[in-house]
Structure 1
Amino acid sequence: MSIVGRYTRLTPAQSDRAVREPGWARELAEELAEAEAERQLSVADRRCHGVGTAWHALAFLLDRRGFPVDLLHDAAEVPDTAAPGYGPPRLLVPERVRLAADSLAELPPHVLTEGVATDDLAQAHVHPAGLWQREDALEVVAGHYLELAAFVRTAARYRHALLVRLG
């Protein structure tokens, strides 16, 4: 089973409640994702977004570029002992979402992957290892990057927080 990265946009009231009631935040994220899975929505209209197994590659490539926001770990833990997955959910506050959105706008996908080969990701033990055997692996990651950037821009526009989960 592979680990996937998931983001959920939360209104200010929802993010406040998420801190007070972490189990509620997990349930909300799951309900929103399930409801959206049945509909064809643009990235801008979604409340949930998944980057699949590209989460680790995106984190690695963004870190390599000195990106000012760690979109996985630069967020406060939301203690949820019942949360399935790999570590507790995290909450990226609206101010950090705005910084991320502005920084993503300045980093085109070809610059993100510039000077990197799939062998570099494999040697750095970026998961999933099987992805780096594909010829189009970097294009797959760049596609996830473009969608994530659009999702983060929407969150910033609405001054939403992001609930970040790995699982």
Structure 2
Amino acid sequence: MSMNGEYLRVTPVELDRTLKDLEWAWGLVEEIQDVPGQPAPAEARHFTTHQTWHLLGFLLQRSAFPVDVVHGEESLSTDHWGYGPPQYLTPERVQLAADALGRMTYDQLIEGVDPSELTKAEVYPQIWDSPASLEWAGDIFTPLTEFFRSAASAGDAILIWID
């Protein structure tokens, strides 16, 4: 079984309800995840970074990124949604993240990174045997940026969890 980074855009009203009723929020997650088809990241309410979440987190932390877009920053609960409790980003932090993501490219993010750093840091999954392995998350970075940009434009918060 793999570990996947999961995101759900919520309006400020939905975030308020989530903070009061986590069970309602999990129902919303299931409802939105079960919608057939994959809308473009800019239109999607749900987004996944699949197994690239840990690599992206390592790279963003290494670059002193101002927002924890991989784990979130505010706790929703101590209940687990997969591999740990869900977190969230407020609309203001989503805006800051979207602005910062929009100013960088994936190539800039991996510049100067040696795959052995990833192995030493035990970045999941353990596939860091060549410089080409760093390209693995490149196809996720742009859609993640689009997802955050769209959420920020709408004034949404984002729920984040590892499943």
The equivalent position to 2:151 in structure 1, one of 132, 151, 155, is 155
**Post-superposition shift, 1:125?**
0.6
Task: State the secondary structure of the residue aligned to 1:46.
Answer: coil
8 Å CA contact 1:113–1:142 kept in 2: the answer is no
Equivalence for 1:137:
133
Q: Which amino acid aligns with 2:45?
A: R
CA distance in 2, matches of 1:48, 1:74: 15
Question: Which whole-Å CA distance do the structure 2 matches of 1:102 and 1:34 have between them?
Answer: 30
User: 1:1-167 to 2 correspondence within 5 Å?
Assistant: 1-35=1-35, 38-79=36-77, 81=79, 83-129=80-126, 131-133=127-129, 136-167=132-163
| Aligned residues: CA RMSD | 1.5
**TM score, norm. by length of structure 1:** 0.91
What 5-or-longer segments of structure 2 have no aligned partner? none
Q: How many correspondences in the alignment?
A: 163
Q: Deviations over 1:60-84 (max 9, x none)?
A: 0000001000113342111152x43
Percent identical pairs in the alignment equals 38
**Local SS of the residue matching 1:132:** coil
Give the partner amino acid of 1:14. E
Alpha-carbon deviation of 1:132? 2.1
Stretches of structure 1 lacking an aligned partner (at least 5 in a row): none
3-state SS in 1 of match to 2:128: helix
Give CA deviations for 1:50-102 in whole Å, capped at 9, x if unaligned: 00111011010000001000113342111152x43121111110000000000
